[in-house]
Amino acid sequence: MNRLLVLVRHGQSDWNLKNLFTGWKDPDLTDLGIEEAITAGRRLKAMDVQFDVAFTSNLSRAQRTCTLLLEALGQPGLPTLADEALNERDYGDLSGLNKDDARARWGEDQVHLWRRSYDVKPPGGESLKDTVARVLPYYLREILPRVMRGERVLVAAHGNSLRALVMVLDGLTPETIPSMELSTGIPLVYRLKADTTVEDKKVLDA
What's the whole-model pTM score?
A: 0.95
Average pLDDT over every residue of 18-41:
96
The pLDDT of residue 87 is 98
Task: Order the strands of the 4-9 sheet from edge to edge.
Answer: 80-82, 53-56, 153-157, 4-9, 188-192, 198-203
- 81: domain CATH number? 3.40.50.1240
Q: What is the C-alpha separation between 9 and 158, in angstroms, rounded?
A: 5
Q: What is the C-alpha separation between 102 and 111, in angstroms, rounded?
A: 7
Q: Total structural domains in the chain?
A: 1
The pLDDT of residue 1 is 59
For 132, how many CA atoms within 13 A lie in the half-sphere containing its CB? 19
Domain span holding position 128: 4-203
Catalytic residue IDs: 10, 88
Tens-place pLDDT, residues 89-144: 999 999 999 999 999 999 999 999 998 899 999 999 999 999 999 999 999 999 99
- pLDDT of 169 over the 70 cut: yes
Q: With left for phi above 0 and alpha for psi between -120 and 50, is residue 96 left, alpha or beta?
A: left
